Structure 1
């Protein structure tokens, strides 16, 4: 892996570079590259396929757990960043423990419901407060406010086009989390494990990629103008 590849940002971090002059935005890179996509989806695919095929929850949990651990071990052996795989291992571990303790395969997906609901509530509150949550996250990544927090906050909040863009993408992500719950919770309640697993996969990485791409399209231009104005002010001072 080259140094350039190692420095590629993923997730919302990739949006922090939107509007750069030397921009080379890639949705695939933003969602972790082909390998990151496979590693993210594989435990879920294995869980639903193996459970539907065998109806053996303990076997399904064991195989899924081993697979998640192996992904981290392979990255360690290859001396690659393990943060993504490790965070995925923790999330999968919580889901598997939940399913194992309750003896119900459908409870593998409960943790996802909780996180989606929490994100939806937090983002909704930020919209009501007129302080876009996505803006806070992206700007925090872009320029860590170690000093003069008020100046940092006023800098991007005072840019009306940029704030408006952040409000729009915050609404977009809120809708994504709510839509997941609307579609998936009824499948959980009716105990349709296979349908729930497939829906979870379809509304996972594909929706994540789409949300990042649309967010980039919305914020790239106002962020570019904001950065250009900041450079102009810096040169003038």
Structure 2
């Protein structure tokens, strides 16, 4: 099975890639400014940056809901840091997010309803019954296990740096293990997922929706 680069880029762009810049910029601004000018200036500029991203999306008539969620997240993170007067507390929401993802992934595996399948269903709108087939589900379960290992490792690193009060290192780890690493995880998940679906021999989602009888061509694009 051959997957070309343009296919991967199109898949990522349709889901996450166009949102990466908005997600990375506020914490990057916060980290740099905090190390030079101090906490309050860093918090103000981080919030302004997130507000600018949101305003830009609205004026461009782009999908602004993600930027609004990002703005809310930056404001909450800023409040954690400001009220405690502790720069490291800006990253408490990131710790909570990592812990939630690990917990959600583990529970989904235990319930045999893998998180990767739910994520694909919500982003693509494909029928849930397709994901739960015995010749489809193992691919999503294995990808969910991969996600669990990644988010678990990220949480351990974040907690170690947080409790050692290594604010600058924590900031850079959050940046590097945030969207840049997640994009890599998504690329690996996509390539492996398509390969695994074809090995399982189940129907493609369109074949499933059209009640096509075997033999099936399988899922060729989209995971």
The TM-score bracket by the shorter chain reads 0.7 to 0.9
In structure 1, the partner of 2:190 is: 216
Residue 101 in 1 paired to residue 76 in 2?
A: no
Secondary structure of 2:7's counterpart equals coil
Match of 1:42 among 20, 25, 46: 25
State the alpha-carbon separation in 2 of the partners of residues 222 and 232 from structure 1. 22
Any idea what SS the aligned residue of 1:226 has?
coil
Pair 1:191–1:58, CA change in 2 (3 A): same
Aligned equivalent of 1:7: none
| Length-normalised TM-score, structure 2 | 0.82
Maintained 8 Å contact 2:88/2:167? yes
Tell me how far apart the structure 1 counterparts of residues 131 and 20 of structure 2 sit (CA, whole Å). 32
Work out whether residues 135 and 166 of structure 1, in 8 Å CA contact, stay in contact via their aligned partners in 2.
yes
Give the whole-Å Cα distance in 2 for the aligned partners of 1:209 and 1:60: 27
Q: Structure 1 residues 140, 222: closer, same or farther in 2, change over 3 A? A: farther
Matches of 1:101 and 1:123, distance apart in 2: 32
Task: Give CA deviations for 1:128-168 in whole Å, capped at 9, x if unaligned.
Answer: 222212113313443466xxxxxx43x432233x2111111
Equivalent position to 2:98, from 116, 119, 135 = 116
Q: Are 1:226 and 2:203 an aligned pair? A: yes
**RMSD (Å) for aligned C-alpha atoms:** 2.5
1:59 aligns with 2:36: no
1:156 aligns with 2:134: no
Q: Answer whether contact 2:81 2:88 (CA < 8 A) is retained.
A: yes
Q: Give 5+ residue unaligned stretches, structure 1.
A: 1-22, 146-151
- Partner of 1:47, secondary structure, is helix
User: Which of 77, 91, 116 pairs up with 1:134?
Assistant: 116
The 3 A distance-change label for structure 1 pair 137 and 75 is closer
Return closer, same or farther for 1:143/1:58 CA change in 2, 3 Å cut-off: closer
Deviation, structure 1 residue 222: 5.2
CA distance in 2, matches of 1:72, 1:176: 29
- Structure 1 residue 201 displacement after superposition: 0.6
Give structure 1 regions of 4+ aligned residues with deviation exceeding 6 angstroms: none
Residue from 143, 149, 158 that aligns with 1:184: 158
1:194 correspondence with 2:165: no
Residue matched to 2:220? none
Query: Higher relative CO (CA 8 A, sep ≥ 6), structure 1 or 2?
Result: 1
**Aligned position for 2:72:** 90
